[in-house]
Each structure stands twice: as structure tokens, then as C-alpha cells.
């Protein structure tokens, strides 16, 4: 339950429109709701400013649908489900007409509300075309959380002139998300060119000694630019989420 809803309920108690017992029952139900297969954290948005996000991989369509339905019944908006297939998304769209799917990012959003709540810009950069799916997970996450996002794809260090051609846009950003596979060098290069935080997302793209993204992860962790931080391999969601938190620092609301 969001702060304004709690305040409205308390005002209702004060005015006599809601009994204290009714208010107590609603508050008791809010911290989490037990669906047996999932315990939905309804207070997540109150604590974090962002509703609970559903990790769809490994969950059945029925389980995801049950979680979405419960969150929507509680007035939820921008209910995000990450890592779901087109097949599951099609089934969920039939069950929830408000459900939208972004196939490249593999993110589904129920009752989407497009609203920008920060004046800052997030730049999402992908080293190669093969990194775009992870980059899109970051970009769609950041957009859903109320941010302006600028995408710059296929600007890796193998053709570094492509990066320099986009440098003016990158330098306007309040925070940069860099997705790179192979050796993951792009994050260090970008970090050395900008004054803002850089969130590096190692991608599992690469040949054998890439070790499923481990080589990029180690390169990024060892970045000599002090403004570079690193999230887990292929975790575009976390990159976009943290970028949004940084981008909203100091913003009203």
C-alpha cells in the first residue's frame, strides 16, 4: 500500500468513514499476502518506492498470473515480470488484457503507466548487437521506473570511433549502464570518459574462454575507473533498477 493510500485510510478513520477495525484489517493484510506458492510483498513500494518485481523464469503461467492478479487487485501499476518467454507472455495477455510484453527484453508489464519522474537521463550502452537483449532489459526496467532512457548500441571498443561518435549523448547522462560481453572492456573506457556513475553489466556473449560472461565480469570488477560498479552476469534488470535509484536521488516525490 502506497503512502498516500495509507494516509487516505487514516483520514477515513479520523472522519468516521472507516472503522478502526476495518483499517486494522487492511493494514494487517498489506505487509504480504500468502498465495501458498508465493508471498506477495505489498509493502515493497512503501519501503522501496518500487512495487515488487516478479522473476518469471522457473514459474508456471498459472503462478505468474496469480501473482499479477493479486497485485492488480490491490491497485498495483507497472507490475513487472522479468525473464518470460513469448509463449508465456501470450498466455498471460489472454488472462490479463492489460499485460504488455517487450520481446527483446523478455519483460512483461501489467497495467503500464508511462510517466517520467526524474529530470535526469540514463544512457544504456551495448558493446555489440549480441548484447542488446540484456541492454534492453536494463532500458525497459529503467523506463518502467520513470526514467528518460537513451539507447546506444553496437559501440564496442573493437570500433572505438563508434563510441566517440556518441560521446556527447553519453556525457549528458546522469548515470550510464554499460552492457558488454567478450572481455567487457567498454565499461572501463566509458568510465574513464564520464564523471557520472557507470553501472557495468557483464554479458555471457563470447567464445569458450569467455566462460559464460566470467571474463567480462572479472574485467569489470577490476576496472581502473573509480566510477564503475558491477552487477551480476546478464542482470540487465538490476543494472536498470540501480540506475533508476541513482537518477532519482534529489528528485521530489
Residue 156 has what pLDDT?
A: 87
10: alpha, beta or left, given left = phi > 0 and alpha = psi -120 to 50? alpha
Distance CA 180, CA 70 (A): 37
pLDDT at residue 1 in the model:
44
The tens digit of pLDDT for each residue in 16-27 reads 888 888 776 766
* pLDDT tens by residue, 107-131: 999 988 888 989 999 999 999 999 9
Name the strand (E) or helix (H) holding 112. none
**What pLDDT is stored for residue 29 in this prediction?**
58
Which three three-digit cell numbers place residue 137?
A: 532489459
pTM above 0.75, yes or no: yes
Question: pLDDT below 70 — which residues of the chain?
Answer: 1-4, 24, 26-30, 32-43, 46-48, 252-253
Domains in the chain: ranges and CATH: 31-110 (no CATH), 121-247 (3.40.50.1970)
Amino acid 42: pLDDT: 67
Amino acid at each position: 500500500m502506497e503512502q498516500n493510500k495509507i494516509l487516505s485510510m487514516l483520514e477515513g478513520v479520523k472522519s468516521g468513514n472507516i472503522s478502526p477495525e476495518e483499517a486494522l484489517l487492511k493494514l494487517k493484510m498489506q505487509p504480504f499476502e500468502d498465495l501458498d506458492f508465493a508471498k506477495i510483498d505489498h509493502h515493497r513500494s512503501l519501503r522501496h518506492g518500487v512495487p515488487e518485481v516478479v522473476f518469471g523464469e522457473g514459474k508456471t503461467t498459472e503462478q505468474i498470473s496469480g501473482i499479477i492478479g493479486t497485485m492488480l487487485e490491490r491497485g498495483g501499476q507497472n507490475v513487472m515480470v522479468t525473464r518470460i518467454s513469448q509463449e508465456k507472455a501470450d498466455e498471460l495477455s489472454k488472462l490479463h488484457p492489460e499485460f504488455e510484453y517487450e520481446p527483446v527484453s523478455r519483460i512483461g508489464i501489467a497495467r503500464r503507466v508511462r510517466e517520467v519522474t526524474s529530470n535526469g537521463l540514463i544512457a544504456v550502452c551495448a558493446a555489440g548487437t549480441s548484447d542488446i537483449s540484456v541492454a534492453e532489459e536494463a532500458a525497459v526496467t529503467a523506463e518502467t521506473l520513470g526514467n528518460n532512457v537513451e539507447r546506444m548500441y553496437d559501440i564496442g571498443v573493437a570500433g572505438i570511433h563508434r563510441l566517440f561518435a556518441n560521446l556527447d549523448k553519453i556525457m549528458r547522462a546522469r548515470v550510464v549502464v554499460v552492457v558488454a560481453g567478450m572481455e567487457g572492456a567498454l565499461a572501463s573506457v566509458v568510465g574513464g570518459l564520464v564523471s557520472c556513475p557507470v553501472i557495468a553489466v557483464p554479458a555471457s556473449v563470447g567464445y569458450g574462454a569467455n566462460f559464460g560472461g566470467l571474463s567480462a565480469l572479472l574485467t569489470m570488477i577490476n576496472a581502473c575507473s573509480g566510477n564503475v560498479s558491477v552487477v551480476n552476469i546478464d542482470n540487465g534488470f538490476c543494472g536498470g533498477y540501480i540506475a533508476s535509484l541513482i537518477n532519482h536521488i534529489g528528485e521530489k516525490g
